[in-house]
Chains A and B, each alone.
Chain A
Amino acid sequence: MSLAAVVEQNVTMPEPSTTPVLEVSGATVRFGREVALDSVDLRIFAGEVHSIMGENGAGKSTLIKALTGAIALDAGVIRMDGEVVRIPSPLDAQRLGIGAVYQEIDLLPNLSVAENIVLGREPRRRGGIDWPAMRRIASALLAELGVTIDPASPLGSHSLAVQQLVAIARAISADLRVLVLDEPTSSLDADEVAELFRVIRDLTDRGVAVLFISHFLDQVYEIGDRITVLRGGALVGEYRTTELLRIELVQKMLGRAPVARMARRSADPDSTAPVALEGRGLRRGERLRDVDIRVHEAEVVGVAGLLGSGRTELARALAGVDTTDSGTLLVDGRPTTIRGPRRGIALGIVYSSEDRRAEGIIGELTVRENIALAIQAQRGVLHLMSRARQTELAASWIEALGIRTPSPEALAGTLSGGNQQKVMLARLLALAPRVLLLDEPTRGIDVGAKVEVQNLVGELAANGMSVVFISAELEEVLRVSTRIVVLRDGLLVASLPAEATSSESLLALVTQPDDGA
């Protein structure tokens, strides 16, 4: 097969038509008694970027799974180019020309880029794999996307953004009609997002339909042509982005007016409140490069910045969870070394990780045990908290934070994301900390729980606690904080009172400075 033929094969130029390339009618999915999708319709046309919007639990991921063959529809019909199709497995979806790139990049980091792109359809020669041909095909496909990397290099040696592009290259290597991108920008910086969008526009120019799933409204509005809104498993409507105001979109997603902004407390940037925790010259690898930060008592410091700007590294350094290469921590003005979470906890500094599942909740222990865990660890092995005492503790926090659980003896892993987050908070708050470092505490939880957590943070600060609140959502940072610090590329570039900041100016600070990009 000649190189040109391979390249040409992937350039699809459909005739202009009004038949959707992919159409779903009456899609219904039930899990036991729960209805995840209720007679949903979806139409995607060739050459467009279509977004599916909805809160968590609205049915987005279920719909995507049905389209990509991960689950089967209980009712409803899928059509491609007007013809009814069935998609019983991911392989069938691929064969129909529906490619998907997920957040976790389901590729093989230990194999080469070329293999990741071509494996499964690899060229043969004399009974074995033709490596040079494989590399050539991979290079050609990558070149189509404007990416020039060594196809023989291991995939794992590249950044997540590049790995994503490799995943897309794999998708386009097989007669792609629809490309599903599931939260593709969560781990990308501004440059990388721009790059991805360029590739998306390239693909749509060639007639590929792109299904763009993202919770970043700005991006949806920038790249998207049309939006389908789901709520509670049902279809709310299908709209053009140009005809739908953001506020209207949010209203349709939530079914009610968006929550009013919290009254922001006045904050004096030269606050005379004592400094509870201070970091000077904090440095860790490439991610954190010489950051000075002060956290006063009774304030909420919002940390804004893109992924990779060093927010998590900063919080972990302040809590002593990760050791720094250099720099000092000062607690109540005294230089202290905090090696490990235990020491931090002993000093009243606690950290809540952004990864609930991997670093937060102990799924197979009960809610009670999860809440009591940190206190028990502090008390030491010999002083077991009595069952009664533990239950009492758990019950009081369940009530205080409004944790929705059938009982304190329910396994923590069975709770919803929002409630798991509250359990984590309860565990940390039970320690009566002085400084609470929250890393993306509202990520992936529904709006109701989000607001509850934000209000709680405000209350805690009002009672004297210092809170450091990291979030990717600038709106949230503005709403919650009394003071905002901005991180960019591992450096702290600004520290300002929240009151005096607008979302536009914050956005400007958070993204790269003007240099033509």
Chain B
Amino acid sequence: MTRIFKHRLVLPIAALVALVLVNTISRPSFVSITIRDGQLYGSVIDILRNSAPLMLVALGMTIVIATRGIDLSVGALMAVSGAVALTIIDGSGSPDSPVTLTIAIIAGVAVTLVFGIWNGFLVAVLGIQPIIATLVLMLAGRGIALLITGGFITTVTSTPYKFMSQGYLLGLPFAFYVSAVAILLVAVIERRTALGVLTESVGINPEASRLAGVRSRGIVWGAYAASGLLAGFAGILYSSNIMAADANAAGQYIELDAILAVVLGGTSLMGGKFSIAGTVIGVFTIQTLKSTITFLGVPPAVSPLFMALVVVLVVLVQSRRVRTGLARLSAAVSSRKNPEVAR
């Protein structure tokens, strides 16, 4: 199995390395890291920090996709958790108190966890198609976030809250640690327990898994709950970054970025085998790509166009037609040795 994955990660890693190389060649400052007041700065550091929300969402998306599903609501859920958290902080008398902070974060994440459980219920228990089931919250979620903020963009000033996305810990951005912890937790839970292989089993063949006694329902349900939870944390980070709860902008198109990251990492949209490492690489690739686009002077609003080109490139490479074309090439080369013509 590791052999397969080694094989699978080759392309994503190659893509990321190529991207980094291109960047470094065109602007050598890309890889330079400066130290100020014991804190590291630089383009690479920015990528580590800014990729945190996407990393969280993409991790959840990986698990959901592995069950042969999809979660379109993550962007909307980000908006909701930010709205809940900031509303609490705004309403409290003490925006800087760690107690308020904890309550706000827990509340925000709890709400999205409930929504995730709701999504899981629709898919696992009622058997509704994941696209439709999560489409509901994708439609309604931002509206709900707007209602929570009363239709405004709630802004707060809170030093500890701001710290999450802007602060530093031991020289590196705090947000990066959040990413790292999430990656570690998810990897451990998936691979050190049977959850990973059981999830893959459910994704590849749900009915056969059920007959073999696998708790298909529970696994699918859990996947969406996890996605909701992670989206909640991502929303907290995002709102921490802009110190505002913007129901419309929060997590806009992040579900698409997340799906792209997962696909880039080698996990198939058809479900089944998944790769956490692949998703991590995919996230960094996308973030680097965004940084590249910004550097090129392309207005951020136009960047989706480049993401589209990347999507097309990736799927072309992964497409069977291209693969069989390459395979035929290599077969033609190797069949030179064999006198019998291979069909």
Q: Which residues of A contact B (CB under 8 A)?
A: 30-33, 74, 321, 340-342, 345, 351, 353, 358-366, 369, 373-374, 376-385, 409, 427
Residues of A within 8 A of B209 (CB): 362, 373, 377
Q: What is the bound-complex CA distance between A369 and B340, given in angstroms?
A: 37
**What residue of chain B has the Cβ atom nearest to residue A428's Cβ?**
B212
B window 260-296: CB within 8 A of A: 272-273
CB within 8 A of A33: which of B204, B215, B272, B340?
Answer: B340
Q: What is the bound-complex CA distance between A382 and B189, given in angstroms?
A: 9
Residues 184-216 of B, flagged 1 when their CB comes within 8 A of A and 0 if not, give 000000001111011011001101111111110
CB within 8 A of A364: which of B193, B212, B273, B343?
Answer: B273
Verify B205–A363 contact, CB threshold 8 A: yes
Verify B211–A351 contact, CB threshold 8 A: yes
Q: Does B99 reach chain A (CB closer than 8 Å)?
A: no
Verify B204–A363 contact, CB threshold 8 A: yes
Verify B194–A364 contact, CB threshold 8 A: no
CB within 8 A of A362: which of B1, B201, B342?
Answer: B201
**What residue of chain B has the Cβ atom nearest to residue A358's Cβ?**
B207
CB within 8 A of B1: which of A321, A384, A385, A409?
Answer: A409
Known contacts A363-B205, A365-B200, A376-B197: A384-B192 contact under CB 8 Å:
yes
Residues of B within 8 A of A358 (CB): 205, 207-208
Verify B207–A378 contact, CB threshold 8 A: no
Residues of A within 8 A of B208 (CB): 353, 358-362
Q: What is the bound-complex CA distance between A358 and B211, given in angstroms?
A: 11
Inter-chain residue pair count (beta carbon < 8 A): 84
Least Cβ distance of A366 to chain B in Å? 7
Verify B213–A366 contact, CB threshold 8 A: no
**What residue of chain A has the Cβ atom nearest to residue B197's Cβ?**
A369
Interface of B is mostly: loop
CB within 8 A of B214: which of A321, A366, A373?
Answer: A373
A–B Cβ pairs within 8 angstroms, 10 of them: A340-B210, A351-B211, A362-B209, A365-B201, A369-B197, A373-B201, A373-B209, A374-B212, A377-B209, A381-B215
Residues of B within 8 A of A341 (CB): 210-213
**What residue of chain B has the Cβ atom nearest to residue A385's Cβ?**
B194
**What residue of chain A has the Cβ atom nearest to residue B222's Cβ?**
A381
Known contacts A341-B210, A384-B192: A376-B205 contact under CB 8 Å:
no
Residues of A within 8 A of B201 (CB): 362, 365, 369, 373
Known contacts A359-B207, A362-B204, A365-B204: A381-B212 contact under CB 8 Å:
no
**What residue of chain B has the Cβ atom nearest to residue A383's Cβ?**
B194
Residues of A within 8 A of B338 (CB): 33
Q: Which residues of B contact A (CB under 8 A)?
A: 1, 192-195, 197-198, 200-201, 204-205, 207-215, 272-273, 338, 340, 342-343
Q: Which 9 pairs between the two chains have the least Cβ-Cβ distance?
A: A377-B213, A345-B213, A377-B214, A374-B212, A384-B194, A342-B213, A373-B212, A359-B207, A362-B205
Verify A32–B207 contact, CB threshold 8 A: no
Verify B343–A30 contact, CB threshold 8 A: yes
CB within 8 A of A353: which of B211, B273, B342?
Answer: B211
Q: What is the bound-complex CA distance between A353 and B205, given in angstroms?
A: 13
Least Cβ distance of B51 to chain A in Å? 29
**What residue of chain B has the Cβ atom nearest to residue A390's Cβ?**
B197
Residues of A within 8 A of B195 (CB): 381
Least Cβ distance of A221 to chain B in Å? 36
Residues of B within 8 A of A385 (CB): 194
Q: What is the bound-complex CA distance between A365 and B192, given in angstroms?
A: 18
Least Cβ distance of B191 to chain A in Å? 8
Residue from B192, B209, B340 with most neighbouring chain A CB atoms (10 Å): B209
Residues of A within 8 A of B197 (CB): 365, 369, 376
Q: What is the bound-complex CA distance between A384 and B272, given in angstroms?
A: 18
Q: What is the bound-complex CA distance between A31 and B340, given in angstroms?
A: 11
Verify B273–A359 contact, CB threshold 8 A: no
Residues of A within 8 A of B272 (CB): 364
Residues of B within 8 A of A321 (CB): 211
Residues of A within 8 A of B343 (CB): 30-32, 74
Verify A377–B211 contact, CB threshold 8 A: no
Residues of A within 8 A of B205 (CB): 358-359, 361-363
Q: What is the bound-complex CA distance between A384 and B194, given in angstroms?
A: 5
Least Cβ distance of A274 to chain B in Å? 25
Q: What is the bound-complex CA distance between A270 and B211, given in angstroms?
A: 32
Add 19 more A-B contacts to A373-B212, A382-B193 (CB < 8 A). A31-B343, A32-B342, A33-B338, A33-B342, A321-B211, A341-B210, A341-B211, A359-B208, A359-B211, A362-B204, A363-B205, A364-B272, A365-B204, A373-B209, A374-B212, A378-B213, A381-B193, A384-B192, A385-B194
Verify A382–B194 contact, CB threshold 8 A: yes
**What residue of chain B has the Cβ atom nearest to residue A380's Cβ?**
B194
Q: What is the bound-complex CA distance between A31 and B1, given in angstroms?
A: 27
Residues of B within 8 A of A380 (CB): 194
Least Cβ distance of B100 to chain A in Å? 35
Q: What is the bound-complex CA distance between A365 and B200, given in angstroms?
A: 8
Least Cβ distance of B211 to chain A in Å? 5
Q: What is the bound-complex CA distance between A382 and B338, given in angstroms?
A: 51
Least Cβ distance of A359 to chain B in Å? 5
Least Cβ distance of A89 to chain B in Å? 17
Least Cβ distance of B50 to chain A in Å? 34
Residues of B within 8 A of A427 (CB): 212
Verify A381–B198 contact, CB threshold 8 A: yes
Known contacts A364-B204, A364-B272, A364-B273: A377-B193 contact under CB 8 Å:
no
Q: What is the bound-complex CA distance between A366 and B200, given in angstroms?
A: 12
Residues of A within 8 A of B342 (CB): 32-33
Verify A379–B204 contact, CB threshold 8 A: no
Residues of A within 8 A of B215 (CB): 342, 377, 381
Residues of B within 8 A of A361 (CB): 205, 208
Q: What is the bound-complex CA distance between A382 and B1, given in angstroms?
A: 21
Residues of A within 8 A of B212 (CB): 341, 373-374, 377, 427
Q: What is the bound-complex CA distance between A366 and B208, given in angstroms?
A: 15
Q: What is the bound-complex CA distance between A293 and B39, given in angstroms?
A: 76
Q: What is the bound-complex CA distance between A341 and B209, given in angstroms?
A: 10
Least Cβ distance of A426 to chain B in Å? 12
**What residue of chain A has the Cβ atom nearest to residue B331's Cβ?**
A32
Least Cβ distance of B135 to chain A in Å? 23
**What residue of chain A has the Cβ atom nearest to residue B194's Cβ?**
A384
Q: What is the bound-complex CA distance between A377 and B272, given in angstroms?
A: 16
Least Cβ distance of A31 to chain B in Å? 6
CB within 8 A of B193: which of A340, A351, A369, A384?
Answer: A384
Q: What is the bound-complex CA distance between A439 and B249, given in angstroms?
A: 55
Least Cβ distance of A34 to chain B in Å? 9
**What residue of chain B has the Cβ atom nearest to residue A361's Cβ?**
B208
Q: What is the bound-complex CA distance between A378 and B194, given in angstroms?
A: 11
